[in-house]
Structure 1
Amino acid sequence: MTLSDHHAGDPNSHICFTLKECSLGSILVAASKIGVCTIALGNDAYTLTRDLHDRFPHAELVDDSNGFGQWVAKVVDFIEAPAIGLALPLDIRGTAFQQKVWQTLQKIPIGKQMSYTEIAQCIGKPKSMRAVANACAANILAVAIPCHRVVRSDGNLSGYRWGVERKAELLRRESSS
């Protein structure tokens, strides 16, 4: 299977997903046989489900609210109380560069932030701030790969796939943990 097939979902792959509400809105958690492959936040279940279908057009998607409820509960619990941490098996799909960025993001402690510039320096590519920002934007594992902890060099918030308001709220909750 090629990398693009893996990203789109192999026609023989099976991805289970479920939707739930949390204090930040709707949440969709999807998992392959390897682990959680998507955690998405949004305003409505329809849009989240459509985005999942668009992201994995070749995979068999199965709404399975009972199948992996404890993983969904862990994600929601983490959103509500970040101090508990989040440990889940992940199916991380991305380029080698994206994965290097995402591994670095996973090392940022709860309650701390780093700038795009600092991330670029950490991965040994000090001039790649824009590519780091693009890798953050490509992340489809909200909170598990904490791209919300990445801020501009001046400390201000910048874009977040699931809304800057959610990013601000996640950071607020983490700083109070």
Structure 2
Amino acid sequence: MNAQATEVYWGTLSHPLFDNRPLHVAATENGLCRVNWPHESFADLQDWVNRRIPGAKLIEDRERVSEYVSQLKQFLDGTRKTFDLPVDLRGTPFQVSVWKALARIPCGETRSYSDIAEAVGRPNAVRAVGTANGANPVPIVVPCHRVIGKDAALTGFAGGLRVKEDLLRLEGVRGFTQKGHARFRF
């Protein structure tokens, strides 16, 4: 699906939704490849690039990532509901199938992990879907925050449950319960 990129361009976005802590936004020539959560460091971005795009050169270039940053900011400001961006998804075939299913969840709606397992043709792979969901390299653009438990509980979230709640509320979603795993309360 993706040609091996030798350069990964990055920039940052700070937003009040994340207490103005920076998100690192990275892209290859093929599209957006990584959005870090605010609790993740630049070293986390470097580690991800080293694992997923071996030999790539990480280059700060705000101009090359400006459209990605702009659309993310518009979404977080509540003025954009969908993204019109190329993505460069780096993962296993199963992960990529899950991420593509996530991308089809409309803004303002949620799905359960079992709904996504059904959508990818693996109805018994609910836990694997959860793991793939948590490994999503481009959160917000590929809306992993829209996946909740079958009982409407928030369950877990790599960005932290407060961020998941904030993103769902931003989209007008109210039909969830604030229950979730303790390790995601940050």
Amino acid at match of 1:80: D
The match for 1:172 is 169
Is the Cα contact below 8 Å between 2:71 and 2:80 reproduced in 1? no
TM-score by length of 1: 0.86
TM-score by length of 2: 0.82
Identity of aligned residues (%): 33
**Residues 1:36 and 2:10 aligned together:** no
**Residues 1:153 and 2:150 aligned together:** yes
- What residue ranges of structure 2 are gaps of 5+ in the alignment? 174-186
Please provide the CA RMSD for this pair: 2.0
**Residues 1:15 and 2:8 aligned together:** yes
Is the Cα contact below 8 Å between 2:32 and 2:87 reproduced in 1? yes
The match for 1:71 is 68
Give structure 1 regions of 4+ aligned residues with deviation exceeding 4 angstroms. none
Matches within 5 A, 1:44-59: 47-57=40-50, 58-59=55-56
Deviation at 1:132, TM superposition (A): 0.3
23, 29, 42: which one aligns with 1:27: 23
Amino acid at match of 2:136: N
Deviations 1:4-57 (A, max 9, x none): xx8xx96x71000001211232211100111110112214xxx43111101112
Is the Cα contact below 8 Å between 1:16 and 1:64 reproduced in 2? yes
The match for 2:140 is 143
Amino acid at match of 2:35: I
Inter-partner Cα distance in structure 1 for 2:89 and 2:47: 17
Matches within 5 A, 1:79-118: 79-81=76-78, 83-118=80-115
Deviation at 1:83, TM superposition (A): 4.3
Amino acid at match of 1:36: L
Amino acid at match of 1:76: K
- Structure 1 or 2: more helix by fraction: 1
Inter-partner Cα distance in structure 2 for 1:63 and 1:96: 29
Is the Cα contact below 8 Å between 1:18 and 1:65 reproduced in 2? yes
Specify whether residues 53 and 123 from structure 1 end up closer, same or farther in structure 2 by C-alpha distance, changes over 3 A only.
same
Is the Cα contact below 8 Å between 2:27 and 2:34 reproduced in 1? yes
Inter-partner Cα distance in structure 1 for 2:79 and 2:106: 11
Deviations 1:49-81 (A, max 9, x none): 111101112321011123331221111111221
What's the secondary structure of 2:133's corresponding residue?
A: helix
Specify whether residues 115 and 17 from structure 1 end up closer, same or farther in structure 2 by C-alpha distance, changes over 3 A only.
same
